Every structure is written in structure tokens, then in C-alpha cells.
Amino acid sequence: MDCIFCKIVAGEIPSKKVYEDDLVYAFYDINPIAPVHILIIPKEHIKSMCEMEEKHEKLVGHILFVAHKIAQEQGFAEDGYRIINNCGENAGQTVMHMHYHLLAGQKFSWGKMD
Ligand code: 5GP
Ligand code: ZN
């Protein structure tokens, strides 16, 4: 399958690994938009949240748990962090393998997005 993130999981495309277990893989984003920008992805190819099925319910919970675990391990759990999932075209999803952005290391603003 021609999927960048599947290739990253398989080790065919190099990545800077942050965390790995049977279900998920986490690595640094190649084009960070915050001082800390980590991507957490399921090893299974799921196109996006929009394609999620009931059988993936636990997996998504696990991804969020792993995000917090990484935040604790890297020491930004207390200061806070932001998790983003871009789902589909309107959200601006560019890589069609479900992923969660874990952003930290700065204070984020909140408001109307462009
Ligand atoms: P999206 O816009 O789909 O939510 O986010 C895709 C993210 O994947 C972007 O932040 C982009 O920088 C990152 N990305 C795309 N290709 C690669 C790659 O080959 N390696 C890494 N580490 N990140 C990538
Ligand atoms: Zn994939």
C-alpha cells in the first residue's frame, strides 16, 4: 500500500521514534509547528477518524492514553499540551493514515481558526 505512515511503521521510511507498542507508533513530525510536535498513529492502516469503526474504540482510547504517557515521560504533562486530529478534507488532513498531533512546549491560543 502506498501510505507514508505505513512505510514509517514498517521502517521503510526513517523516522525519529518516540514510543512504540503492539498497537501504536509515535514519532516526531518532520515539519514541526510547535517546540514539541509528535505524531501518534495506529499501526493498523485506518484512513482517518471519519473511517473509524466500533472495533477501533479501544484503539483510539489507547492513542490518547499513550499521548499522556509521552507527556509525562517528556515532562510537559504538568504545563499542558494540545492534541489535534485532522479528519478529512475540511480539517486539512494531508496524510490519509489516521494520526493524532501531540503539541507542547508553548502556550497555545484559542479562537476562530482560518
Ligand atoms: P495532517 O495535516 O494530515 O493532519 O498532518 C500530517 C503531518 O504529517 C504533517 O504535520 C506533516 O508534517 C507530517 N508528515 C508528512 N510526511 C511525513 C514524514 O515523512 N515523516 C514525518 N515524520 N512526518 C511527516
Ligand atoms: Zn497507512
- In order along its 114 residues, the chain shows pLDDT tens digits of 799 999 999 999 999 999 999 999 999 999 999 999 999 999 999 999 999 999 999 999 999 999 999 999 999 999 999 999 999 999 999 999 999 999 999 999 999 998
Determine if ligand 1 sits within 6 Å of the CB of residue 15: yes
Alpha helices in the chain (DSSP H): 4-9, 57-74
Residue 31: DSSP 8-state = S
pTM > 0.95: yes
- Closest ligand to C-alpha of residue 2 is 2
**Is the shortest distance between the CB of 3 and ligand 1 below 6 Å?**
no
Give every CB contact of residue 78 below 8 A, 6+ residues apart in sequence: none
Closest CA to ligand 1's atom 17 = 30
Contact 48, 60 (CB under 8 A): no
